[in-house]
Structure 1
Amino acid sequence: MNGTAIENFVCVIFNVSFMNCTWHVGRSATEDTQYFLYWRPPKKEDVTECQDYIKDNYGRHTGCRFQNVAIENNAYFLVNGSSSEKSIQPYEKTMQLYKIEKLTPPLNVTVNCTEASHRCSIWWQPPRTSHVKRKSCFKYEIVIESKADAEKNTKPTSETKAIIEKNSYLYESFSSGKRYSIKIRATDAGFCLVSPNWGEWSTPVEFGTQQFTSTSSYMLFLIPGLAVGLILFLCMTVRAYLKKTSARVPQPRDPFRELSPVDLQTEDMNLLKKQGAEEIMDIEEVMESK
């Protein structure tokens, strides 16, 4: 009967390989009407029934959850139903799965600003997909917002760049005294099997103030240099202390050490004195014998 088939059948693929399909109960359907979804994935010959239904308050099926969905070619959907009072009209639809994909946000958004040139270089990676490998398949929308400053009584402003056909952007209105926020989303560049709808926004990345200017790059080199200098200073201090402490401890005389010039002179004087004493004794002995 007319009005018993489902209405507003919508499917969305998200997070690369998950898919949700939802529908509304037919306007003429009774409360005991139950619906069943069957689908034929791309490159498959058999029709498979939904394994994870979404239900309303009456226990009627109003949707289905899918996992591990491959975005390839077209997919066929059939929703039929049963009721004890009426015959339920079937609903059929064929979809190109890439058109219903909700693209994930661009990945690894990175901002590097230089205070002197008032520029910020921004890079990111394309969104994750299961069927698109080329970076050139995407274009991006960028929104850069200057954050509000209560002290300076400034309001937030935004700048939108809707068509960026590469995964980098040079922002040339940077001011080190402001705080900024950037978010990016992706869509089809026009010549690949990518959803024509805009994908999800990336998590806003804040940048600006001193920690994101060229000063930060200088500090990256300054901090390790200070650490090395401190370590060298501590090593020299400890070495000087150990040297001073060791000088106070009397060292045993080494009998085999080399004699210094002073020691040699002292030894020669002792030898001369000894020889002189021996000559006097010899003269006395001669005098006594005569």
Structure 2
Amino acid sequence: ALQCQALLCAALLQASSSELPALTSGGALALNVTFDPGTWTLTWNCGGHVTVKSCTALTTKRDGKLSRQKILDPVCRCQFKPLTLHLGVMLEVNATVNHMPVHEKLTYVNRGPEGSAAQNLTCFIHEARVMTCTWEVGPAAPADIQYFLHIRNSTGHMLTACPTYLGGHVHTGCRLEDLTLLQRHVHVTVTGSSQTGDIMFYDIMLNTKLIERLSPPGNITVACNSSHCVVSWSQPQTWSHMSFSDFWYEVDIQRQDAEPGSANPKVHISSEEENRYEFPSPEPRPGHVVRVRAGDVRSKRWSAWSPCVAFGSEEHGVPRLHVYLTVVTVTLLCALGLGLACKRFVRIQKLFPQIPEIKDKVTDNDRVNPETLRKDLLLQTDESN
């Protein structure tokens, strides 16, 4: 029972913290002007004796500049375009009551200690289906601070409260996995709650198409023949509608054994229905890696790089310069060795000259036939006997 009671209290606390306090004028009772910050609407007593000529909203932007909206000849209400309210807003109503001019002014103030509001609120859509918002605790926020996030459309209609908070009990982030209710423009408000009193809120208008972080291209493949290679990929999935003409791509192809300072330049590919890039790459083909990222041609946003895909020989190729130097070195060493061998042979010939052979007395030929020599010796022996 205590757990249910705690959950009920938390739900009531979140519901109450989603509503910004309305503002009612203390001026002309006949007008009774009221400002609803949730819908950015001024209302007043609407009767036959009241005629409103115009109403104006003057807001301060984050850069300190003023923004003015003016509506002429409204009927019973003025609904402004979405206003950023955390820096305050000045409201004016010009009317006639019983033919007497009435000028009503209201100042909407962000109540609470300065520095208690959430800071650095950022939201982004990623993975084509998830929106994540993060913020920081205000420097003057009390110890028991707890923040809540709510999203409205451009007419002030509540779309959703945060379904999953990040950052523990304090809440410093929100994750939404159901984006079906989101529209092109949304108003995000982070309010605060504390037992000590009022907490300032923070609000921002977002263009959901511009806050989407593109995913890298998928299904990257490389096909090669004897002379060329083709890299192909698929268009990344997005939450907002984007056609092939909304994208451009950057292809990065590098050798696996590239030397420092010898990287290839990246190639920009214009949007085409068929996502592919063909380039010359004759065999034998050393090992390469390729990666691709996608960009939005309008907002100049880029996705992260895709995982690298390898192609070509798995063995690192030997650089041509190294091959050339090796061949030249071996050739010089062989020539030097041959020269030294020849020089040594000449020296040996000089030190050890060739001994002359016995000449044949009969034929006076250096080459002596052993059979002839034997017969001559036998003949000489017979004569001596």
> For the superposition of Structure 1 and Structure 2, which TM-score range results when normalised by the shorter chain?
0.5 to 0.7
What's 1:169 paired with?
277
1:50 and 2:156 equivalent?
Answer: no
Tell me the distance in 2 between the aligned counterparts of 1:45 and 1:97. Answer: 16
| 1:87 CA displacement | 2.2
Q: Within 5 A, what are the aligned runs for 1:1-290?
A: 1-40=113-152, 45-56=157-168, 59-70=169-180, 72-115=183-226, 117=227, 119-148=228-257, 154=259, 157-166=263-272, 167-173=275-281, 176-190=284-298, 196-209=300-313
Counterpart-to-counterpart distance in 1, 2:241 and 2:282: 34
Deviation at 1:129, TM superposition (A): 1.7
Report percent identity of matched pairs: 33
Cα distance, 1:72 vs structure 2: 3.7
Is the partner of 2:209 in helix, strand or coil? Answer: helix
Assess, with a 3 A threshold, how the Cα gap between structure 1 residues 174 and 107 changes in structure 2: closer, same or farther: farther
Per-residue CA deviation, residues 235-281 of structure 1 (Å, 9 max, x unaligned), is xxxxxxxxxxxxxxxxxxxxxxxxxxxxxxxxxxxxxxxxxxxxxxx
Q: Once the 2 structures are TM-superposed, how far is the Cα of residue 102 of structure 1 from its aligned partner?
A: 1.3
Residue ranges of structure 1 left out of the alignment (5+ in a row): 212-290
Amino acid in structure 2 at the alignment position of 1:200: A
1:90 CA drift (Å): 0.8
Please list every run of at least 4 consecutive aligned residues from structure 1 whose deviation after the TM superposition is greater than 3 angstroms. 41-44, 173-177
Is 2:165–2:175's contact at 8 Å kept on the other side of the alignment? yes
**Is the 2:129–2:179 Cα contact (8 Å) retained in structure 1?**
yes
Aligned mates of 1:137, 1:201 — CA distance in 2: 18
- Confirm or deny: 8 A CA contact 1:106 1:125 kept in the other structure: yes
User: How far apart in 2 are the matches of 1:43 and 1:196?
Assistant: 29
In structure 2, the gaps of 5 or more residues are 1-112, 316-385
Counterpart amino acid of residue 147 in structure 2 = Y
Distance 1:141 1:40, change over 3 A: same
1:44 to partner: Cα distance? 8.4
What CA distance in whole angstroms lies between the structure 1 residues aligned with 2:239 and 2:150? 23
Deviations 1:200-255 (A, max 9, x none): 322211111289xxxxxxxxxxxxxxxxxxxxxxxxxxxxxxxxxxxxxxxxxxxx
Distance 1:210 1:64, change over 3 A: closer
- What is residue 362 of structure 2 aligned with on the other side? none
Deviation at 1:25, TM superposition (A): 0.4
Q: Taking CA–CA contacts closer than 8 Å with sequence separation of 6 or more, which of the two structures ends up with the larger relative contact order?
A: 1
Contact 2:287 2:314 in 1 (8 A): no
CA distance in 1 between counterparts of 2:177 and 2:155 reads 17
State the distance in 2 between where 1:178 and 1:51 align: 52
Given that 1:79 and 1:90 are in contact with CA atoms closer than 8 Å, whether structure 2 keeps it comes out as yes
Hey, what's the Cα distance between the residues in 2 that align with 1:170 and 1:42?
46
Deviation (angstroms), 1:169: 1.2
Q: Is the 8 A contact 1:54 1:61 kept in 2?
A: yes
- Number of aligned residue pairs: 199
The TM-score with structure 2 as length reference comes to 0.47
1:153-196 Cα distance to aligned partner (Å, 9 max, x none): x5573431245333221223566341111111111123xxxx64
